[in-house]
Amino acid sequence: MSKEFVQIDRRDNIIVAITDLKEGSAIDINGVNIILKENIKAKHKFAGQNFSIGDEIYMYGVLIGKAIKQILSGCAITIDNVKHASSAYNSTNKNFKWNPPDISNFKERTFMGYHREDGSVGTANYWLIIPMVFCENRNVDVLEAALSESLGYITKKDFAVDTQALINKYNSGASEEEIYTTSIIHTKDEISKNRVFSNVDGIKFLKHDGGCGGVRQDSEALCNLLAGYITNSNVAGATVLSLGCQNAEVVTLQKSIQQKDPNFSKPVVYLRQQNSRSEREFIEEAVKRTFIGLIKVNKIERKPAPLRNLVLGLECGGSDGFSGISANPALGYASDILVALGGTTVLSEFPELNGVEQELINRCETEESAKKFAALMDSYSAAAQAVGSAFENNPSPGNIKDGLITDAMKSAGAAKKGGTSPVVDVLDYTEKITKPGLNLLCTPGNDVESTTGLAGSGCNIIVFTTGLGTPTGNPIAPVLKLSSNTHLYEKMKDIIDINAGTVISGEDSIESMGEKILEYMIATASGELVAKAVVKGQNDFIPWKRGISL
């Protein structure tokens, strides 16, 4: 890109500042000369024309807001002079023609994955410890302490916090300033230990606060979600801990597993604490039966698999004003390549599709999918409005500070992660992905609730774009972080995997960056590279209770 400003679409009447622009600067937009009336920060937008109150404002070629004050050409676009607005939509899809990208560089490529009996291929090989209800969380903690370190599953610890140094200062009568200036962070070598089970990538512990109380629908949704994790291609087997009296019953979980995989054959250990004579006996049985299960799944080894077996989750969080012009469209291009190869990609976060509904409806292959997407969006929007929290409240303070001032603006950029391919299916939360191609999955805009849902529907790898930096991951699907700008990448290399800021600087095109993302995905799916979120042990798992979450 390597410009000072950019008009993303010729229909846009606001312009994006790529660098800090000074008041008085002359800007030429398609032969029209604009003099900036004020300083414009990088990532923010300025008016490409004069706006009167009520005038429509376009970015990415779509309606993203309306002027609530008179705005002169060359003035900043802010929350003080613009309010959210989005285009109406209907559920009628149109004939859609797609021009797939060039896939010659990837047509014969494979990744090294774990082949499952249902025909799916995992990018990892995990054993799960799952509580059916929050009452079992303590027992999950006990199992984690008993199994993780002894079996060699320890995440990287690149520093240690020496709190004792502060205690020593305090006991010696040091002042608050002396305590504050004491160094307590020390470099620590990575703790490495040979795994007992070399082909098992880890044991993951899915603690949560559900399973009982609340409405029965939440417990049913939890069972469906847990079934999705157990049947995910990255999972080899599981140990399920039940108290025995909770709403989320084991039989409900088993029925959901059967629905998702009628020929399910993975080893699963079911234990009910109320059938046990003591907690000690319960834990002992859980450890022994889990150990035996690990012996079985350790026999599975990585083997070559076509790229069509990748199921890519498309996620964003901590977005900024560059997300929609670097990281998101580059990920969208990678998505298009994977779809053209016969693979599967999944776009979620429905509150962040507000304003681009018609575009996605037009891309639906079937009228059924178009109607389902419209119905889910209508229902979600109505539920949000009913509690006084409409989609327009979606942008976070961080989004706004870095240039995303309306939900429609944020959504138009977020949707770029879905590329340009046809929509083959629309799924509600916890529904299983069954069709190759681009899928839409109803999840909240909440980052962790959304990534939790993506893995629960079958994603075996996730790419997470961010402009501000987000330290999060998922227990079973490796989450690769993709920065929208180089400043963030340099500042937070410990949590960011790939830098798309080179699109902004002009070193990469959207297409070349998209190919780099796919290369990184292949290496990660093969176990050659480890996502930073996995290294850091960021195993975030938050089931969505179907109340309003934006």
At 296, which CATH number?
A: 3.40.50
Say yes or no: 253 and 234 in one domain: yes
- Domain-located, residue 524: no
Domain housing 401: 320-459
For residue range 278-311, what is the model confidence (pLDDT) as tens digits? 999 999 999 999 999 999 999 999 999 999 999 9
Work out the mean pLDDT of the chain and round it to a whole number: 93
How many Å apart are CA 77 and CA 49, to the nearest integer?
Answer: 11
Band of residue 55 on the pLDDT scale cut at 50, 70, 90:
very high
pLDDT at 295: 97
Q: Which range is least confidently modeled, 224-238, 251-265, 536-550?
A: 536-550
Burial per residue of 456-472, b for 16 or more beta-carbon CB atoms within 10 angstroms, e otherwise: bbbbbbbbbbbbbbbbb
Question: 530 is written with which tokens?
Answer: 């480890």
Write down which residue in 55, 84, 113 finishes a domain.
84
Say if CB 151 and CB 205 are below 8 A apart. no
For residue range 400-457, what is the model confidence (pLDDT) as tens digits? 887 788 888 999 999 999 999 999 999 999 999 999 999 999 999 999 999 999 999 9
Residue 466's alpha-carbon distances to 335, 417, 485, in angstroms, are 17, 12, 9
Say yes or no: 204 and 187 in one domain: no
Question: 158 is written with which tokens?
Answer: 């690149």
- Domain-located, residue 286: yes
Q: Report the SS3 class of residue 485.
A: coil
- Domain-located, residue 539: no
Say if CB 303 and CB 159 are below 8 A apart. no
Say if CB 412 and CB 62 are below 8 A apart. yes
Band of residue 214 on the pLDDT scale cut at 50, 70, 90:
confident
**Res 390 pLDDT > 70:** no
pLDDT at 39: 96
Work out the percent of the chain whose per-residue pLDDT is above 70: 96
- Domain-located, residue 549: no
- Domain-located, residue 93: no
Closest among 344, 323, 322 to 335, alpha carbons compared: 344
Average pLDDT over residues 506-514: 97
Beta strands in 382-443 (DSSP E): 423-427, 437-441
pLDDT at 401: 82
End-to-end Cα, the chain, rounded Å: 32
pLDDT at 73: 95
pLDDT at 430: 97
Q: Return the half-sphere exposure (C-beta side, CA atoms, 13 A cut-off) of residue 476.
A: 33
Average pLDDT over residues 333-360: 95
Write down which residue in 411, 442, 459 finishes a domain.
459
**Res 154 pLDDT > 80:** no
pLDDT at 155: 61
Say yes or no: 426 and 327 in one domain: yes
- Domain-located, residue 256: yes
**Res 186 pLDDT > 60:** yes
Say if CB 43 and CB 403 are below 8 A apart. yes
**Res 188 pLDDT > 70:** no
Say yes or no: 134 and 263 in one domain: yes
How many Å apart are CA 409 and CA 533, to the nearest integer?
Answer: 28
Residue linked to tokens 């003035």: 75
For residue range 304-325, what is the model confidence (pLDDT) as tens digits? 999 999 999 999 999 999 999 9
Say yes or no: 56 and 186 in one domain: no
Q: Which range is least confidently modeled, 70-79, 117-126, 151-160, 353-362?
A: 151-160
Write down which residue in 459, 481, 503 finishes a domain.
459
**Res 387 pLDDT > 80:** no
How many domains does the chain contain in total?
4
Say yes or no: 364 and 381 in one domain: yes
CATH for 22: 2.30.130.110
pLDDT at 88: 87
pLDDT at 3: 85
Say yes or no: 330 and 265 in one domain: no
**Res 191 pLDDT > 50:** no
Band of residue 547 on the pLDDT scale cut at 50, 70, 90:
low
**Res 366 pLDDT > 80:** yes
Say yes or no: 450 and 324 in one domain: yes
Say yes or no: 230 and 333 in one domain: no
Say yes or no: 171 and 287 in one domain: no
Say yes or no: 134 and 184 in one domain: no
Say if CB 67 and CB 81 are below 8 A apart. yes
Q: Is the dihedral of CA 243, 290, 119, 264 positive or negative?
A: negative
Say yes or no: 435 and 411 in one domain: yes
- Domain-located, residue 56: yes
